[in-house]
């Protein structure tokens, strides 16, 4: 049995943190679903920037949308939704078979809305309505401004992938927003089945401390944070509060491990995948990491739900302020996505201008 199938059978979903039009049109994504047990897909501004910038596969759509008078964000979302609708259709059998547990794709709201709660709520509702696919998550960052937008969006019935979480405290704040949204739906007599995942970013922890800790501690912090967050997740699922909601039909908000591509060339390229193999979770990984794990990854003992966190104490003793660093990583992540978004808008505009010149020549 393949390692990817073993991980799937353990109870962890493998999602692909990648999308390109070629991945869809070539049949590669279909093959990953069929052969590597991939059951979902995530995207972000950086992924789309690289996809559009590095290919002519989007030229026809960009040209047509520009002729229709679209530009900037409006044009980009048409391009992105075209890809994500196709991906959602590929995963729809998984979504239907699992009653919404799996088979999702994700689209992020504009990072320029990071501090705009009302704007985020409006954009999330509009994008999900435009997608016309039940298995499409809208990604909202779990920032102070994002949390109330998440609660309101869940209450409105919009499925949400909560992104940019970096600690178990941030995860719990995101889970609280989800729970409140579901509780309000029940109080209003609405269906409590609204999909959500909470995305914990892993590898950026190790990048942030690599020059601040002894060699023995390198490439260990991300796994330690993931382990602590998994414990918090399992404790929440066992809580009386969640059990009451589950008894009334609510879907669990699953913990998703994100940013799982190894950044240190001296470390194993499947470090985070192997270490964070945990039932009832999701691991979204870049295509390169997926193929590496399929080639030589190993599934060992699953992550225990009640494991302590002595390694976090080691980092604290080494002078790492974990709470402060979590906030810094979240702010840096938001800033990084904003920069990628600006690059993406520039790329789309540049391509549109180039294609217009060719058409008029």
Q: Which residues are catalytic?
A: 139
Rounded-to-10 torsion of CA 138, 108, 121, 130:
-60
Look at the chain and count its residues: 361
CA distance 145 to 331: 12
Q: What is the DSSP string of 149-188?
A: HHHHHHHTT--EEEEEE-SHHHHHHHHHHHHHHHHHHHHT
Token code pair at residue 100: 């919404």
The span from the CA of 69 to the CA of 52, in Å, is: 19
3-state secondary structure of 106: strand
Residues 6+ apart with CB under 8 A from 219: 206, 210, 262, 264, 267, 271
Number of Cα atoms under 13 Å in the Cβ half of residue 185: 24
In angstroms, the CA 167 to CA 4 distance is 26
């Amino acid at each position: 049995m393949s390692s990817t199938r073993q991980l799937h059978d353990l109870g962890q979903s493998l999602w692909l943190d990648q999308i390109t039009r070629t991945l869809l049109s070539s049949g590669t994504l279909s093959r990953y679903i069929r052969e590597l047990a991939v059951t979902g897909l995530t995207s972000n501004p950086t992924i789309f920037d690289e996809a559009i910038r590095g290919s002519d596969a989007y030229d026809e759509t960009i040209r047509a949308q520009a002729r229709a008078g679209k530009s900037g964000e409006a044009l980009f979302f048409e391009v992105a939704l075209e890809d994500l609708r196709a991906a959602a259709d590929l995963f729809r059998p998984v979504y239907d078979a699992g009653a919404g547990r799996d088979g999702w794709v994700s689209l992020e709201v504009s990072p320029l809305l990071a501090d705009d709660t009302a704007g985020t709520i409006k954009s999330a509702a509009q994008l999900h309505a435009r997608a016309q696919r039940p298995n499409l998550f809208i990604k909202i960052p779990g920032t102070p401004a994002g949390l109330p937008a998440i609660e309101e969006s869940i209450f409105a019935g919009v499925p949400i992938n909560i992104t940019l979480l970096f600690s178990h405290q941030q995860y719990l704040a995101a889970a609280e927003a989800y729970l409140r949204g579901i509780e309000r739906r029940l109080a209003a007599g609405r269906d409590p089945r609204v999909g959500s995942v909470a995305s914990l970013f892993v590898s950026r922890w190790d990048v942030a401390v690599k020059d601040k800790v002894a060699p023995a501690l390198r490439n260990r912090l991300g796994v330690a944070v993931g382990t602590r967050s998994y414990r918090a997740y399992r404790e929440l699922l066992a809580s009386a509060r969640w059990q009451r909601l589950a008894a009334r039909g609510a879907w669990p908000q699953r913990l998703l491990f994100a940013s799982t591509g190894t950044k240190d060339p001296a470390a194993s390229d499947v470090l985070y995948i192997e270490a964070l193999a945990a039932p009832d979770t999701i691991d979204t990984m870049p295509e390169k990491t997926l193929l590496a794990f399929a080639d030589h990854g190993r599934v060992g003992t699953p992550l225990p739900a009640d494991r302590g966190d002595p390694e976090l104490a080691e980092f604290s003793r080494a002078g790492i302020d974990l709470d402060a660093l979590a906030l810094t990583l979240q702010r840096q992540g938001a800033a990084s996505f904003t920069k990628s978004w600006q690059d993406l808008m520039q790329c789309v505009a540049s391509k549109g201008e180039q294609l217009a010149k060719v058409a008029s020549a």
